[in-house]
Structure 1
Amino acid sequence: MKPTTRRTLAAVVTGAAAAVGAAVTPAAAAGAIPVPVPLGGAETALGMELPEVAGELPVPTAGAPEGPRYVEGRLLPDRTLPQVPVHGGLPGVDLRQPVPHVLGEDFDHAGLDAPASGLRTRTPGLSLDAPLTAPDPGALGLPSPKLPEAGVLAPALRTAPVANLGVGPGL
């Protein structure tokens, strides 16, 4: 293949990869997807003022699991079934309810704002060991029997949700 053909082919492949990467990046980069709740039609049909509601749904992403750790004296590695980290978030909500001056002239609405908060989790894992010991040089290289070992690695969950509740003027 000629060098000019190679360069042209490389440029086409690079351009295609950049186009695919640009198309995938915005969806993967979004931490939460906004979800508006349209109540305008219900307000018109009922003839009254309804609350404004909007939400956010988080996009969970899986991380890379930690590989198994080999321990001297064991036939199977530690963390036979590794824990997988998953990053996402708790759903968020923004709610504003009209209030007819219950608390005075300056208070027209009550609002709740609970933004989507980060959530870090780890799936359960499993640690096993075979019912045999490692080969023993004193026993002509044969393993000895022992009790099998099994352990469950507990799942983990970390988050810090926040919410603001307040009243104020205007909707």
Structure 2
Amino acid sequence: MKPTTRGTLAAVLTCMAAAATGAAAASPAAAVPVPVPLEGAETALGVELPRIGAEIPAPKPGSPEGPRYVEGRLLPERALPQLPVSGGLPGADLRAPLPRLLADGFDHLDVSAPASDLRALAPGLDVDAPLTAPDRFGLPDPKLPEVGVPAPALRTVPAANLATGPGL
């Protein structure tokens, strides 16, 4: 293979790796907007209907932290590791007309809850054998078996905005 071809191939592979890394580092709350079309119902009914939109994020599983060996135990900690999942809570946007009771025209009510990051850990399993590690004579001592379930964890900061104002 010529050096020119090798250099071109290396440059292409480097660009592909950089693009893949950039795509993997994107924000987990990057959500897909989903509009709810109500224009046909407005025309058919002859009234002003609310405008509704939503954002739906896709969850992304992460790589679990593997078993960790601890001195004095026969089995490693976290026999079944916790799986981290990152994604987002769905977002919504609602804008509804409010009729003025004492005058002509409409005001509006606007409720928006943007998509927010969500990080979760699935439950895991922690097991220890009913024997201790072998001592200096090569025989293990008996002990009570241990079983534990690390609890799942959720971490998020949801937000919402409520506003009213004149006009539609």
| TM-score normalised per structure 2 | 0.83
> What residue in structure 2 maps to residue 25 of structure 1?
23
Contact 1:95/1:111 (<8 A) preserved:
yes
Give me the whole-angstrom Cα distance separating, in 2, the residues matched to 1:40 and 1:19: 43
**1:19-75, Cα deviation, whole Å (9 max, x unpaired):** 9749x939x556111111111111111111110001111222223322322211101
Alignment gaps of 5+ in structure 1: none
> Whose helix fraction is larger, Structure 1's or Structure 2's?
1
Tell me the percent identity: 67
Work out the number of aligned pairs and report it: 167
State the one-letter code of the partner of 1:25: A
Evaluate the alpha carbon distance shift between residue 20 and residue 71 of structure 1 in structure 2; reply closer, same or farther with a 3 A threshold: closer
> What residue in structure 2 maps to residue 10 of structure 1?
10
Please identify, of 4-13 and 92-101, the stretch whose mean Cα deviation from structure 2 is larger.
4-13
> What residue in structure 2 maps to residue 109 of structure 1?
108
CA RMSD of aligned residues (A): 2.8
Indicate yes or no: 2:148 matched with 1:151: yes
Indicate yes or no: 2:159 matched with 1:162: yes
Give me the whole-angstrom Cα distance separating, in 2, the residues matched to 1:141 and 1:125: 32
Please identify, of 140-149 and 86-95, the stretch whose mean Cα deviation from structure 2 is larger.
140-149
Indicate yes or no: 2:39 matched with 1:43: no
> What residue in structure 2 maps to residue 135 of structure 1?
134
| TM-score normalised per structure 1 | 0.82
> What residue in structure 1 maps to residue 120 of structure 2?
121
**1:70-97, Cα deviation, whole Å (9 max, x unpaired):** 2111011111111122122211111011
